[in-house]
A and B are shown apart, each in its own frame.
Chain A
Amino acid sequence: MSTLQQRQQARQLRHRLLLSAPAMAMLGVFLLVPLGIMLLVSVLQGGDYGGVKWGEYSFEAYVSFFYERDLDDSLVFNTDYLQIFQRSLWLSVLTTAGCLLIGFPTALYLALQDEKRRNLLLFLVTVPFWTNLLVRVYAWILLLRNGGLVDSGLGLFGFDGSLGILYSDAAVIVGLLYSFLPFMVLPIYTSLEKLDWRLVEAAFDLGANRRKALQRVIVPLAMPGIVAGTLLVFIPSLGNYIIPELLGGGKSLMIGNLIQLQFGTAHNWPLGAALAFVLLALVLLAMLSYNLRFRQPAMEGHA
């Protein structure tokens, strides 16, 4: 390799570093530094009235995630926090599944409309974003509470009034489904919109009925959108705070509420930070398993 080429490559490298510097700085200042602070907080001794005692390191927070300290200072296995994590996971899985079940047909319907109608319908999908989430969640409180529209509506079908839907897991799922549905519809719609419908015609031509064409051609080709939508719904709903707070009452806690509780009333910052890191680990694990499951086949194709 000539020196000229070497010099050119060095210059290119310098340019690339320079161009990516703002993005790097952004990530550093707004992601890595706060995460570093949180990590530090999680391994410090908690202060008596919130805050932390700087310089006094302790893994107490991570220990207390699994164990409770008895009166005689022995550790007893404690599933309280694990149960909340488990419920959060379960509610998020149900929410994601529900969003997929409603979102995929919706996206398919949107993609099959002619362009004018499609734009109108897409606009309608995004309309809820125009109002503050808090206002919309309060509207759900009015709908779901005893004697509210849903409750009395179900009463017409022979259910006893005052079902107590509000402040239950069901209410939380309804709220999560409602607020995250557009995040499922839009990416799936994007991948379906790009789909070459002649491939679907080819499937029909080769003897596939509607169900088979959906299963063998449309869904596999929409997979990137489905994966993106699933991640966009699952991850934020796992850490969601406002919906379980308002629709779950105090009864149906999720991880987000637990973390808020530690930084707030419980004055236990290290535990809050530790819980946040466990949540982060969970999310990374979920993304990793998704990568292993869905990225690999695509990579094989280009091998």
Chain B
Amino acid sequence: MEFGEPGQGMKALDDVSLEIRANEFFTLLGPSGCGKTTLLRLIAGFEQPTSGVIRLYGEAMQDLPPFRRPVNTVFQSYALFPHMTVAQNIAFGLEMRGLGRAEIDRTVSAMLELVKLPDVGRRRADQLSGGQQQRIALARALANRPKVLLLDESLSALDLKLRKEMQIELKRLQADTGITFIFVTHDQEEALTMSDRIAVMSKGRILQIGTPSAIYEAPVNRTVADFIGETNFLTGEGTPEGLRLADGQCLALNEPASGPLTLAVRPERIRLSDQGNLEGRLEDIVYLGTDTIYLLEVAGQSGFRVRRQNDEGAGNGLHPGARVRIQVPAAALRVLAE
């Protein structure tokens, strides 16, 4: 599928192809401007693809107007109707489908129960707090029992505590309703917490699709590795013995490779150890409560991070400037495609 403004060289989406399974919590993750919201709007029907098809359960949808698609959206701004009460907001979609009054009333109160706000039906939408509006937007979209629910950066307007609550809440709702959720976010932590699978996007392309652990443990390239979590990059020359760094240190690899290489390693997989296989100079120590980050200079490269949990004996009297050895397990190293 492609999407671009006619007459412009830039494509907002370029050769995007993905398959989302039924009942899946699927996340489109990427920095702003990567095309994830455009992709969502294409699925919802607010934009038409320049080329390509969108299928839902085998049925081509790309030519249907939004009101004919069994898809509902929770908008980033919530887009609750300000001239209606909460109950009228939730009832809107049901009325559009021509349901009877009794059934509408039943569904509205069921939806309000579902999002745990049973008493706000008669209030106006703009009298609710941000978190409540968020829940009502969810209830309104779910009331139609869509086959797919689209969520556009739906949690980004909430404060941290509320966001954490809603993350768990969304997971629960998805499990309870059995509806496929497609969630758009730029927050990698949110994506990792909630998703069954994640598609990492950048510059209108999909870089990698996989489960949170696959994406985190085995990023396919530097952009993905850099975007998801903290990552250290080691560059050097592949030799039969392993990776030769700029200062001549050599790191053993499980599978020998040749030529210029970039390797990624997560900071929490590295240990400080006198018998370690790499040497570096300690630049700084950042205490984070549960963890401590040790910033090292390794092979002339500054900002190499080692993250250790603060259990007994951690840190034991290290000071910036000291030379330390670190143990980088071969299993934790990922060779990245450039």
Binding site for B on A (CB under 8 A): 196, 198-199, 201-209, 212, 216-217, 220-221, 301
Which residues of chain B are near A301, meaning CB under 8 Å? 124
Q: Do B67 and A217 touch across chains, with their CB atoms under 8 A apart?
A: no
Q: Are A205 and B66 also in contact (CB < 8 A) when A198-B75, A198-B79 are? A: yes
Take A204-B67, A205-B44, A205-B67 as given contacts and tell me if A199 and B96 are in contact as well, using a CB distance cutoff of 8 Å. no
Main secondary structure of the interface of A (DSSP, over half): helix
B79 x A208 contact (CB < 8 A): no
Neighbouring B residues of A216 by C-beta, 8 Å: 92
Contact assessment for A208 and B92 in the assembled complex, using a CB-CB cutoff below 8 Å: yes
The contact of A207 among B44, B80, B97, by CB within 8 Å, is: B97
Asked if B55 is at the interface (CB within 8 A of a chain A CB), the reply is no
Q: How far is the CB of A150 from chain B (nearest CB, A)?
A: 40
Q: Which residues of B contact A (CB under 8 A)?
A: 44-46, 65-67, 71-73, 75, 77, 79-83, 92-93, 96-97, 124, 140-141, 144
Nearest to A216 among chain B residues (CB) is: B92
B92 and A206 within 8 A (CB): yes
Residues of B within 8 A of A206 (CB): 67, 72, 92-93, 96, 140-141, 144
> Least Cβ distance of A223 to chain B in Å?
8
Nearest CB in chain B: distance from A293 CB, A: 15
Residues of A within 8 A of B93 (CB): 206-207
Q: Within the assembled complex, what's the spacing in Å between the Cα atoms of A203 and B88?
A: 12
Q: Which of A203, A205, A207, A208 has the most CB of B within 10 A?
A: A205
A212 → chain B closest CB, angstroms? 6
Q: Can you spell out 10 A-B residue pairs with CB atoms less than 8 angstroms apart? A: A198-B75, A198-B79, A202-B73, A205-B44, A205-B46, A205-B66, A205-B72, A205-B141, A206-B92, A207-B97
Residue of A201, A207, A221 touching B46 (CB-CB under 8 A): A201
Q: Pick the residue among B66, B77, B82, B124 that contacts A204 (CB under 8 A).
A: B66
Chain A residues with CB below 8 A from B67, complex form: 204-209
User: Closest 4 A-B residue pairs measured CB to CB?
Assistant: A206-B93, A207-B96, A202-B79, A204-B66
How distant is the Cα of A198 from the Cα of B73 in the complex, in angstroms?
11
Per the bound structure, the CA–CA distance linking A206 and B67 in Å amounts to 6
A199's contact among B44, B72, B81, B141, by CB below 8 Å, is which?
A: B81
CA gap between A207 and B71 in the complex, in Å: 9
Q: Which residues of B contact A199 (CB under 8 A)?
A: 79, 81-82
> What chain A residues lie within 8 Å of B77 (beta carbons)?
196, 198
Given the complex, which residues of B lie within 8 Å of A220, measured CB to CB?
83
Q: Which residues of B contact A207 (CB under 8 A)?
A: 67, 93, 96-97, 144
| Cα A198 to Cα B66 with chains together (Å) | 13
- When C-beta atoms are compared, the residue in chain B nearest to A203 turns out to be B92
Report B-chain residues with C-beta under 8 Å of the C-beta of A196.
77, 79
Question: How far apart are the CA atoms of A116 and B45 in the complex, in Å?
Answer: 27
Rounded to whole Å, the gap between the CB of A232 and the closest CB of chain B is 22
Which B-chain residue is minimally distant from A213 (CB atoms)?
Answer: B67
Contacts of A217 in B (CB 8 A): 81
The residues of A that contact B65 with a CB separation of less than 8 Å are: 204, 209
Taking CB atoms, residues of chain B closer than 8 Å to A203 are 81, 92
Give the Cβ gap from A197 to chain B, nearest Cβ, in Å.
10
A217 to B67, CA, bound (A): 14
Please report the C-alpha to C-alpha distance between residue A199 and residue B75 in the assembled complex, in whole angstroms. 9
Q: Is the CB of B83 within 8 A of A212?
A: no
Q: How far, in angstroms, from A11 to B283 measured CA to CA in the complex?
A: 63
CB neighbours (8 Å) of A202 from chain B are 73, 75, 79-81
Residues of A within 8 A of B71 (CB): 205
A58→B67 CA distance, assembly (Å): 68
Closest Cβ of chain A to B314, distance in Å, is 50
Q: A207-B93, A216-B92 provided; 19 other pairs, C-beta below 8 A? A: A196-B77, A199-B81, A199-B82, A201-B46, A201-B66, A202-B75, A204-B46, A205-B66, A205-B71, A205-B73, A206-B72, A206-B96, A206-B140, A206-B144, A207-B96, A207-B97, A209-B65, A209-B67, A217-B81
Residue from the set B77, B96, B140 with the largest chain A CB neighbour count within 10 Å:
B96
- In angstroms, how far is the closest chain A Cβ from the Cβ of B194? 22
- How far is it, in angstroms, between the C-alpha of A199 and the C-alpha of B125 when the chains are bound? 13
Contacts of A221 in B (CB 8 A): 82-83
Q: How near does chain A come to B93, taking the closest CB pair, in angstroms?
A: 4
Contacts of B80 in A (CB 8 A): 202
